[in-house]
Structure 1
């Protein structure tokens, strides 16, 4: 084949990416695993989270906690694909701890994309400062009852945390509640160093015109934090965040009137990360099941991998993991090329991998048999962890699939958009499908 006709599709890791994978795997096995296994057994949810602080500080020293930020702001300058390579290795051991890193990104990336020069200098510089090994950033969107319909046209639906401007003091007064924000409580339940909160800045407008984002600083009076006791992901923190007349400087406002677009862009950025996290959990289950099948006899003359049913099932499991991983790489690569696009492929990637991973974990348990229930082995915990992925990060039956639907309904979308790598910016016209009260297809 002539050199000019070679297809420019390459799944080979660079030497730097191989080193990143190797270092992340070593950190996961040597540092993260023992701490996560111990923390998962702590009954108090906040104490379980606090037990991970030494691991977090070591991750910060290794550059993991802000590796997604550009080098010009003190970050690691990692591409989306690079970040996925590291996250998979961590999640194969424990998916809760890497969620802390993901949420740092969900709070800091909006400042990078939409912040003023002053906001970028202050918050990105603060996050990457040499003495900030315990820096935490929170992302607060969800509210009690859920906010999948954040872009509903009614002011009585969606986001209800109200932010009203007090012109006399040039401050926004926040009243309401956030439920499930990660990291926002901080290590001591006095708040993360900063949390990006989606707020309603217009009482009368709908979700595509009345929402904004605002940076809430640690120690802001009028806010209380209560830890949520969870089934899984116990090594990261989720809280109920209650605002009772909390005052935040107007200078902390982001995306006035376009908070809806920020929500969509942020969950697009996180989609492939959540997807590769689910691949990591699936791989963790597969690693154990494969070793088990090669050594366990089940009372027979040889290891159970010699049985056709076991061999066929392992083949299917391995194929699903390989396919899911490459889908993640494709979605991340598209976002590296088109940072303000990819809303459909990011959503499809997250929902596909999250749903697929649950089947993989359960199939690994079927292969191992009743011993999979023994808490001395990892499958029982991985099964608990697996139920998180279709529910968090915008929810597979919530806004993730609905965002993809809105993109595909647009006249500019083509079935070849992603395979050809063509840009397709996300607009307000793509929002609202399935939220109620919105006209049908254009």
Structure 2
């Protein structure tokens, strides 16, 4: 059985570089940025770290080598992501979103689109290139992002409409987005590109009426709101965006009628990364409280770790971290085998690890007791960050669990395929599970 959890020499080098970057360059700016009340300023404080990240290849390393990327595997990405998220998962999300935006061009874009947009991403002499993944929309205005694959026509599902003006060879965008990450860029004038999911046919449902379009920085008709002030992941930027007769060349459109597949595959690719991000945060919480329990007696004479309750809780946290790391790597390996076609296992890893490790971080706070609430210690931040994982990146309840369910509903679903590492191809017929109430 070719199962080996030993890192290769190249992976150990990736891990070393990522760990040194995280501790020596990122860590010194994190606390000041996290405590900054102005969310855009908090984001901008991390720019110096991002420039170093770009030089190291972490900002675009997942893109194919033929377009200037690093060509790293999904498993390689796990190694890098754990080290960075152990210091700050919000900053790591900025890098992840570059992938959410650009990998769809790798999978669905034309050769010309790949040459243009991917090479632009990997060859920025400034080192500050950033891409926005522009899918999410505010609740209540339309069917909401979670129902992107709703079979009904507009206004159910995605509400940003792109009307094709064939005479001028353009699409005209009107509507709003809410929560897209990186979208505003470093100066709130836009990311270098925003890859947007739009409604190109309002008369059709989410399985047929959606497409993807690249909106470059400087495009007229786009307004960026102030970034959302969030409970956790404060170092990544989430915006409100308004499109008013925004004209974009038809050359920038891809996956016409298949925007639903773009959304599903992108959030499949990010699932194992979100899972390992939870591992990174839990690892840091565990290591801090382990040291605390060995060096503090809490008035009982012997260090706290000698109390059975504390020892058992620490053992439980350690077990969850190891189990979730293995699950994250398994999901990433599966995606590597099948060109990121692993919609069920990737979602499973994201859901399971995020929720299991939120509980683990909370247990770590319980070991410290009331001292965990003192903000001179990092436990409060660990809990805030852990709370994000079940909610972001195609939220567990909103999209990821529904995706697993949709795959299982399929007549051809093979419950042993994941264990045996056999491909399960995702199809449109697997979408819309639970979108229509009986």
TM range (shorter): over 0.9
Task: Return the alpha-carbon distance in structure 1 between the equivalents of residues 44 and 65 of structure 2.
Answer: 29
> Number of matched residues?
432
Q: Is the 8 A contact 1:143 1:159 kept in 2?
A: yes
Conserved? CA contact 1:153–1:437, under 8 Å? no
- Corresponding residue of 2:27: 33
- Residue 231 of structure 2 is matched in structure 1 by 231
Give the equivalent residue in structure 2 for 1:389.
389
Distance, in Å, in 1 between the alignment partners of 2:371 and 2:406 is: 45
Distance in 2, Cα, partners of 1:340 & 1:31? 31
The residue aligned with 2:102 is: 108
Is 2:367 the partner of 1:367?
yes
Q: Shift in Å at residue 411 of structure 1? A: 2.2
1:329 aligns with 2:323: no
Matches within 5 A, 1:66-145: 66-145=60-139
Aligned match of 2:152: 154
Give 5+ residue unaligned stretches, structure 1: 1-6
**Matching residue of 1:264:** 264
Q: Which whole-Å CA distance do the structure 2 matches of 1:329 and 1:22 have between them?
A: 18
Aligned equivalents of 1:160 and 1:144: distance in 2?
10
Q: Which residue of 1 aligns with 2:296?
A: 296
Q: Which residue of 2 aligns with 1:165?
A: 164
Cα distance in 2 for residues equivalent to 1:138 and 1:28: 23
**Secondary structure of the corresponding residue to residue 197 of structure 1:** strand
User: Which of structure 1's runs of 4+ aligned residues deviate more than 2 A?
Assistant: none
Cα drift, residue 338 of structure 1: 0.7
Superposition pairs for residues 417-432 of structure 1, below 5 Å?
Answer: 417-432=417-432
In 1, the alpha carbon distance for the partners of 2:243 and 2:388 equals: 27
* Residue deviations 1:178-208 (CA, integer Å, cap 9, x gap): 1000001011111100011000001110110
Alpha-carbon distance in structure 2 between the residues aligned to 1:207 and 1:289: 47
Contact 1:152–1:437 (8 Å) recurs in 2: no
Deviation for aligned residue 1:309 = 0.8
- Would you say 1:251 and 2:251 are equivalent positions? yes
- Cα distance in 2 between the residues matched to 1:187 and 1:69: 22
Shift in CA distance, 373/391, structure 1 to aligned 2, threshold 3 Å: same
Q: Show CA shifts across 1:348-402 (max 9, x none).
A: 1100011111101100000011110111111011111111111110000011011
Instruction: Say whether residues 1:189 and 2:183 are aligned partners.
Output: no
Q: Provide the residue aligned with 2:305 in structure 1.
A: 305
Counterparts of 1:254 and 1:353 in 2: how far apart (Å)?
A: 33
Q: Secondary structure at the match of 1:242?
A: strand
Unmatched 5+ stretches in structure 2 = none
TM-score where L is the length of structure 1? 0.96
SS state at 1:327 partner: helix
Shift of 1:142: 0.8
- What is the match of residue 204 of structure 1? 203
The 2-side partners of 1:225 and 1:174 are apart by: 15
